[in-house]
Amino acid sequence: MTVGLTGRSGVVDDGRVSEDDERRRRPDPEVPAKARRRQFSPGYKLRILAEYEAAPNGEKGAILRRERLYSAHIVEWRKLRDDGALAGLSKPKGRPPADDRDKELERLRAKNERLEKELAKAQFVIDVQGKLAALLEKLSEGAPDENPPSPKKPNG
């Protein structure tokens, strides 16, 4: 038996809620496994600091509530700004683009290293050739002549 409301129009309401209505009414019960810290960009910090400092005393709390911040955020960001850290953080992340001089210096260093290796090989070859020449000379001094002089025939 279905319990429901019957109106004058004859439409029966069985009390069920559609899935779409259900999702709109209830928030997602899933909670992330690990809470994530909020991260604020340097530009955001500077903008909020300027707005906070320009606001009259009665409106400063409203700014903090609106942005879901604490007064400790303002204190910390003020210190960073005064130390110049926020200005440095607003620069793009990563390595700065390489200067042409740095590229040229790297190219010359690589070329120098390659030439030093070639020089070491050449010096090794020269040393080996010198030792080989000395060895051959020593061997040729101690070896009998291959073509001994032919004996002279007596005249007569």
User: 76: which residues sit within 8 A by CB, 6+ positions away?
Assistant: none
> Which position has the higher pLDDT, 78 or 93?
78
Record: fold of 37-92: Arc Repressor Mutant, subunit A (1.10.10)
Query: Do residues 104 and 111 make contact, with C-beta atoms less than 8 angstroms apart?
Result: no
Give residue-wise pLDDT tens across range 84-118: 876 665 566 677 777 889 889 999 999 999 999 99
User: 90: which residues sit within 8 A by CB, 6+ positions away?
Assistant: 42, 43, 46
- The Cα 89–Cα 76 span in angstroms is 15
For residue 41, the one-letter residue type is S
Estimate the share of the chain in helix, then strand, then coil, as percent rounded to the nearest 5.
Answer: 60, 5, 40
Give residue-wise pLDDT tens across range 4-14: 555 555 666 56
Give residue-wise pLDDT tens across range 13-29: 565 656 665 556 666 66
> Which pLDDT belongs to residue 20?
60
pTM: 0.38
Kindly report the CA angle at 40 between 35 and 42, in degrees rounded to 5?
Answer: 160
Give residue-wise pLDDT tens across range 34-59: 778 888 888 899 899 999 999 998 89
Kindly report the CA angle at 76 between 70 and 61, in degrees rounded to 5?
Answer: 30
